[in-house]
Structure 1
């Protein structure tokens, strides 16, 4: 059992740290110090216990007996208290994982977010799952397990679920990065070049134009209290340098999705209704995804598995749950509807 300590998010949030020991390739060693402290951090928020009256009258909340594991995107970490509250207020146990070299897990002299294979993250995801399931009560039906991933985290969890069938019961994706911005054909042309660079100079930076417009859009329309408390050492206003080794790993993940993952669990993919690729600031950037091509992602999502629901949210940003109030609330309503439908359908089939 892990040792839990208070998290910086305050009341209701705790964290535990996993020490990661294992084989690291030459590229990973080059990205770190010889004595690198490689860790991952699991944050949890547990639901308030049911009142005595609720117990006596056998009242249950919609997401009782559900565990949720959330994984963040690139140049990011978990800080979304409102999103956690959505789950815990309905009875679910919420967990969020800051992957190695991200957020709470980032250590001095490490190359933030660096990895040369997305399968590296299996180690901390496996540890998180083991901890989440460690207090399962004997003789009781296992709690349902829902994976939730944003952007690159959505790609990471989709690939993990494909390699670990039978563990997760459902997959929820918030603007997952399932395809390159220039579509599959462009990715296939670009991949050999990126792989060559990654082989010889994995830490070389790749061209990236970011004026900080996405961060500005969030700051103008998103939940103010959360965004004002963001740690900019962990989540810079302009995204971190993209290295060729990391980009090659992502493109390999895109190729695996393109071939089809064959997931048998129900999947909900939430996307903005439109994309805008910024060349200069405009108010339109506060009502669209300025990071991904949402139409290409929607096409790629259909290759994840046999049961995929795609929800398009008008006016949403790249992180759907950091959008303006109206699209954000619509997203929560759609997510709740999907989850309740999935839960009821699952219960009927089990009966």
Structure 2
């Protein structure tokens, strides 16, 4: 995954299929993930991906160049395709300024009998195309299309699907499944078909509330929407602290080697229209009335931490010790309070010493996070009569 060995493609590879929301809703679960052409992935042996064209960008960037999503699959050599198809599918959905790279996570769950997939959402990671603003959408609900396509493909190819959403991806998964749930209750047959293929939801430190001080939150909710109407591309002021990235990547103080052009240490600047879209989606959740309606697990750290740096004794500024043992991006206390809004039966597991992505924590906290998710998934499989996970 080192950048020199994996240069970004200068000519994007062609999509293996065009499949947008309208096509999915006209024939849900009609096309299987196993019907698509996969190519070797940058993650190495056992990893491959397929690119799905979603059509024109609703935000109007790069006219004539379709937005795409990329579905990554971990299927080790020697795994029988038929047995692989009988496994439940886990679909990992990344957060802001992120992409699917966590091979240790894929291999952990593959060893436990799951079919592991990741998705790089439109304009993110492998799905970014020249001229596009990285990770930019003006409404988080746009990702319903990416997720509908992925769930339809995986639901057609596996017994059921369990989305695993991290950070902003946790918000997106929550609202996507909740909207499917509501539509199925209204008698929407296409969305009901998609919803029935979702067996459970796992949320890894989801972004469920604005984490700033009261004044900043008020500005985001009341002032930024007005600004966005007149200057939608205005950069969000203040910037984003790089401490979290510095605690993760091997080039600094972490243990993870990933492509910093897809996940830079200092997250890319965001436009005000993007933040307004996130705040609106959070506002919808906070207004109540949503529910995933399926078994739901929320895993997060026991504490939030600051992005402060300290002197290591030689004059070098390093992240403070708590940055390696806490969530320096969001506030876990907010996640726990909002869990009831995700679903009344949402199970919350607090992992002492975990960082923002619990699966990238130091080993003891990481093992605890894996154990919590393993227990939850085992219960889901058992409730399904033991189908899959073989």
TM-score by length of 2: 0.78
**2:220 corresponding residue in structure 1:** 190
User: How far apart, CA to CA, are the structure 2 residues paired with 1:110 and 1:209?
Assistant: 20
| Residue 296 of structure 2 is aligned to residue 274 of structure 1 | no
**1:214 corresponding residue in structure 2:** 244
User: How far apart, CA to CA, are the structure 2 residues paired with 1:247 and 1:209?
Assistant: 12
**2:45 corresponding residue in structure 1:** 11
Q: CA deviation at 1:157?
A: 0.8
| Residue 278 of structure 2 is aligned to residue 250 of structure 1 | yes
User: How far apart, CA to CA, are the structure 1 residues paired with 2:161 and 2:63?
Assistant: 37
| Residue 339 of structure 2 is aligned to residue 317 of structure 1 | no
**1:153 corresponding residue in structure 2:** 169
Aligned with residue 124 of structure 2, among 86, 102, 108: 102
Aligned length: 326
User: How far apart, CA to CA, are the structure 1 residues paired with 2:95 and 2:383?
Assistant: 30
| Residue 180 of structure 2 is aligned to residue 164 of structure 1 | yes
User: How far apart, CA to CA, are the structure 2 residues paired with 1:135 and 1:237?
Assistant: 36
**1:284 corresponding residue in structure 2:** 322
Structure 2 CA distance for partners of 1:100 and 1:334, relative to 1, 3 Å: same
Q: CA deviation at 1:34?
A: 2.8
Aligned residues of 2:53 and 2:68 also touching (Cα < 8 A): yes
**2:376 corresponding residue in structure 1:** 338
Q: Deviations over 1:288-339 (max 9, x none)?
A: 0000011012111221112111111111110101111111011111111122
User: How far apart, CA to CA, are the structure 1 residues paired with 2:160 and 2:99?
Assistant: 24
Q: CA deviation at 1:196?
A: 1.1
**1:204 corresponding residue in structure 2:** 234
Q: Deviations over 1:42-89 (max 9, x none)?
A: 1011367679xxxxxxxx99x973111111000000000011112111
Aligned with residue 269 of structure 2, among 241, 251, 258: 241
Between 1:177-186 and 1:122-131, the stretch displaced more is 177-186
Structure 2 CA distance for partners of 1:95 and 1:308, relative to 1, 3 Å: same
Structure 1 runs of 4+ aligned residues shifted over 6 Å read 47-51, 183-186, 220-223
User: How far apart, CA to CA, are the structure 1 residues paired with 2:335 and 2:166?
Assistant: 13
Structure 2 CA distance for partners of 1:251 and 1:334, relative to 1, 3 Å: same
TM-score by length of 1: 0.86
User: How far apart, CA to CA, are the structure 1 residues paired with 2:137 and 2:341?
Assistant: 25
User: How far apart, CA to CA, are the structure 2 residues paired with 1:286 and 1:164?
Assistant: 37
Structure 2 CA distance for partners of 1:242 and 1:50, relative to 1, 3 Å: closer
Aligned residues of 1:263 and 1:306 also touching (Cα < 8 A): no
Between 1:33-42 and 1:234-243, the stretch displaced more is 33-42
Aligned residues of 1:269 and 1:308 also touching (Cα < 8 A): yes
User: How far apart, CA to CA, are the structure 1 residues paired with 2:215 and 2:199?
Assistant: 33
User: How far apart, CA to CA, are the structure 2 residues paired with 1:298 and 1:75?
Assistant: 24
User: How far apart, CA to CA, are the structure 2 residues paired with 1:334 and 1:73?
Assistant: 21
**1:140 corresponding residue in structure 2:** none
Q: CA deviation at 1:278?
A: 1.8
Aligned pairs (5 A) from 1:283-302? 283-302=321-340
Aligned residues of 2:151 and 2:161 also touching (Cα < 8 A): no
Aligned pairs (5 A) from 1:253-264? 253-260=281-288, 261-264=290-293
What is the CA RMSD across the aligned residues, in angstroms? Answer: 2.6
**2:184 corresponding residue in structure 1:** none
Aligned residues of 2:56 and 2:65 also touching (Cα < 8 A): no
Aligned residues of 1:40 and 1:100 also touching (Cα < 8 A): yes
Give structure 2 stretches of 5+ with no counterpart.
1-34, 182-194, 310-318
